[in-house]
Amino acid sequence: MDPNVARDAAGSSSRCDMEGAAAMQPAPVADGHGSATSAGLIIGSIGVVYGDIGTSPLYALRESLAHAKSGGLGEDVVIGTISLLIFALIFTVTAKYVFFLMRADNRGEGGILSLMALAQIALGRRATPVFLLGVAGAALFSGDAIITPAISVLSAVEGLEIVNPKFGEFVFPITVAILVSLFWGQSHGTARVAALFGPVMAIFFIVMAALGASHIGDAPQVLRAFDPRHGFVFLLTHGWIGFAVLGSVFLVVTGAEALYADMGHFGRAPIQIAWMFFVLPALFLNYLGQGALILADPKAIENPFFLMAPDWALLPLVILSTLATVIASQAVITGAFSIVRQAIQLGLLPRLEITHTSATQEGQIYIGRVNRLLLIGVLVLVTAFKSSSALASAYGIAVTGTMVTTTALAFIVVWRKWHWPLWAASLFILAFLTVDLAFLAANLMKVVEGGWVPLLLGGGSMVVMWTWVRGTSLLAEKTHRDSIPIRDLIAMLEKSKPTRVPGTAVFLTSDPEAAPTALLHNLKHNKVLHERVLVICVSTEDTPRVPPEKRFEIEKLAPDFTRATLHFGFMESPRVPAALAAMRKAGVKYDIMTTSFFLGRRSIKESPASEMPVWQDKLYVALTKQSANATDFFSIPTDRVVELGAQLTI
């Protein structure tokens, strides 16, 4: 990627950018630092944050031992593998995410793009490497968002084969039906059923813990897995098999990014308490119980999670597990919508149509194009791989890649924002990075078996973001070259006065120093100018939210010309009328009934002289056609809008 283009895109958060877009997540239930912890927040975090990581026991141990069973499932293999599982949860999830990364918050918010913005603030400039790391992490998340629903639901429905082998033929159609229903229901919102997520997942964790605890007595020696030496010895003595097992061991920590990304929803303390005193013990007990069952009966490797249940409880367990995987999938889908909104606001994607499905909750959103792409991707994966075991090979690379980028960005925060000495920050981060890279290397062994899927999805997402950033930057440069400085225009209008009409005209622009294109077109074709002119820029900041008192800046350019810059955080919806209402209280004359909003609608055409390759030129033009209507995006009353179009080439 061209560094200049990358720098321009990364810097879009500090300039007026009307091609950007809306907010990301719900308004936080707790701000991560000062709000009191409550049982409601803890239970809520169990339902939303821990769905993905909580359903990993359905397949993680089974897939980890699948690589080693050809050589026999000896005690050293089973205990060594479980030891690796346990310390992956302790080191990667508990130490890295729960206690370290959750301190690296951007005013209470977390997530890869939030961390990217925080790193940029720490550096005090728009560094291209930071931008690229953020884009790479966000792109790899897209692969995770497609694979998680497929593998989670498949692994739960496959329990029907344990209930009755004849049910095996129904696994695929039932999985497809559940997934289609899940994505179809997104447009209706989840506010009505979201309250059930926490209690259902809490029951699921309790059942998991009870099943595991009931089987530890089958082979009590499994408790030796808490000694990390068993894991290290297993890796050192089993060569490539141990390395392959390590790639599947990583399945236990998939979903760890949700701990960080959802910090703004529930606050740091509720998520930490839920993990340490509820989720982590339940996972430990379940994995130990599965291991003890396999030591007592090696045939249980077929599906140890469901085989822990007595016959009478199998079908209820399948139903409960399916509900849990649907909840986990819902959390990933909602996360995909959220990160797309954040990427749009940061200038990485075109403005897409976003529907709010709740009148009271900001984060209840639906993005139709993203939903359809996710559904198509999930159905293709389920059809192509047909089993959770096959999909497991495709799962790890996306998550490990995101974790590596997160750790790299965290180094900048530790060094520059927390002001650690360079050597101390390097040693501290190197410990986490070594483990992340080991997991990544182990998962790269699975590229041929299915690991190419997240690489393809992530690569495609990066190409789309790169194309949008580069094309938008080139277009902005060209528009700026061809524009007239707004102060020069005001001076020209004072000498050659146009016909003035009553009311206020609001012009939205992406360049605060240039005269808005819509204003020039209005003067050229209608030959009139309103008695009051307000030029508005929307600036996306590197912080999640902007305090109301810092929402706008007003500058008087002339007695009848005012320029206003509206500041929004990258997790806020840029509602222009609400900001104008606040400006009115501050003394700006504004009456919605006598105000017209003039918007420029640009039609982008391909150009033989474009600085981009032909294929990228075509892709950028296609992306611009997906851009949502600015009227809806900025919540402007449709009956007050005048659109003036223009054709441009890149």
CA gap 599, 587 in Å, rounded: 24
Closest CA to 123 of 109, 267, 468, 131: 131
Percent of the chain residues topping a pLDDT of 70:
92
Amino acid at 40: G
The pLDDT score that the predictor gives to residue 203 is: 96
Q: Could you read off the pLDDT of 355-380 as tens digits, one per residue?
A: 877 655 656 778 889 999 999 999 99
Average pLDDT over residues 592-621: 85
The pLDDT score that the predictor gives to residue 48 is: 83
The pLDDT score that the predictor gives to residue 109 is: 82
H/E stretch holding 464: helix 452-482
Closest CA to 305 of 140, 524, 62, 627: 62
Contact 596, 503 (CB under 8 A): yes
Q: How confident is the model at residue 30 (pLDDT cuts 50, 70, 90)?
A: very low
pTM comes to 0.82
Average pLDDT over residues 24-32: 36
> For 340, how many CA atoms within 13 A lie in the half-sphere containing its CB?
25
Higher pLDDT, 602 or 637: 637
Q: How confident is the model at residue 187 (pLDDT cuts 50, 70, 90)?
A: confident
pLDDT over 70 (residue 491): yes
- Pairing between β-strand 365-366 and β-strand 528-540 as defined by DSSP bridges: unpaired
Q: Could you read off the pLDDT of 66-84 as tens digits, one per residue?
A: 877 766 778 999 999 999 9
Q: How confident is the model at residue 88 (pLDDT cuts 50, 70, 90)?
A: very high
The pLDDT score that the predictor gives to residue 21 is: 28
The pLDDT score that the predictor gives to residue 70 is: 65
Q: How confident is the model at residue 28 (pLDDT cuts 50, 70, 90)?
A: very low
Angle between helices 3-10 and 128-157 (to 10 degrees): 70
Contact 508, 630 (CB under 8 A): yes
Any idea which residue has 């222009």 for tokens? 576
- Largest interatomic CA distance in the chain: 94
- DSSP-based three-state secondary structure for 527: coil
Closest CA to 349 of 479, 183, 463: 463
The pLDDT score that the predictor gives to residue 240 is: 84
Any idea which residue has 């821990």 for tokens? 50
The pLDDT score that the predictor gives to residue 16 is: 54
Closest CA to 253 of 112, 91, 48, 88: 88
Contact 266, 108 (CB under 8 A): no
Closest CA to 47 of 269, 274, 251, 286: 274
The pLDDT score that the predictor gives to residue 360 is: 56
Q: How confident is the model at residue 185 (pLDDT cuts 50, 70, 90)?
A: confident
Contact 573, 51 (CB under 8 A): no
Q: Could you read off the pLDDT of 535-577 as tens digits, one per residue?
A: 999 988 888 888 988 999 999 999 889 999 999 988 787 889 8
The pLDDT score that the predictor gives to residue 3 is: 37
The pLDDT score that the predictor gives to residue 551 is: 92
CA gap 10, 120 in Å, rounded: 9
The pLDDT score that the predictor gives to residue 71 is: 61
Query: 159 — phi, psi (to 5°)?
Result: -60, -20
The pLDDT score that the predictor gives to residue 359 is: 59
> For 496, how many CA atoms within 13 A lie in the half-sphere containing its CB?
6
CA distances in angstroms from 311 to 9, 302, 317, 486, 521, listed in the order given: 58, 16, 10, 77, 75
Q: What is the dihedral of CA 442, 390, 208, 300, to 10 degrees?
A: -100
Kindly state the tokens that stand for 432: 């986490």
Higher pLDDT, 629 or 323: 323
- Terminal CA-CA length for the chain: 17
CA gap 642, 644 in Å, rounded: 7
Closest CA to 162 of 305, 11, 360: 305
CA gap 305, 301 in Å, rounded: 9
Closest CA to 570 of 86, 99, 100, 121: 121
Any idea which residue has 């998680």 for tokens? 148
Kindly state the tokens that stand for 304: 């140890």
The pLDDT score that the predictor gives to residue 62 is: 92
Q: List the alpha helices (DSSP H) in 297-421.
A: 304-307, 314-345, 368-385, 388-412
What does the mean pLDDT of the chain come to?
85
CA gap 597, 225 in Å, rounded: 66
CA distances in angstroms from 18 to 203, 333, 599, 629, 632, listed in the order given: 46, 27, 10, 11, 13
Contact 148, 382 (CB under 8 A): no
The pLDDT score that the predictor gives to residue 17 is: 39
CA gap 582, 551 in Å, rounded: 9
Residues 6+ apart with CB under 8 A from 249: 60, 64, 81, 84, 85, 88, 439
Q: How confident is the model at residue 463 (pLDDT cuts 50, 70, 90)?
A: very high
pLDDT over 90 (residue 450): no
Sign of CA dihedral 10, 16, 17, 21: positive
CA gap 468, 461 in Å, rounded: 11
The pLDDT score that the predictor gives to residue 153 is: 94
Contact 399, 439 (CB under 8 A): no
H/E stretch holding 562: strand 561-568
Query: 597 — phi, psi (to 5°)?
Result: -100, 125
Q: Could you read off the pLDDT of 396-433 as tens digits, one per residue?
A: 788 888 899 999 999 999 999 999 999 999 999 999 99
CA gap 640, 642 in Å, rounded: 7
pLDDT over 70 (residue 100): yes
Kindly state the tokens that stand for 543: 């912080």
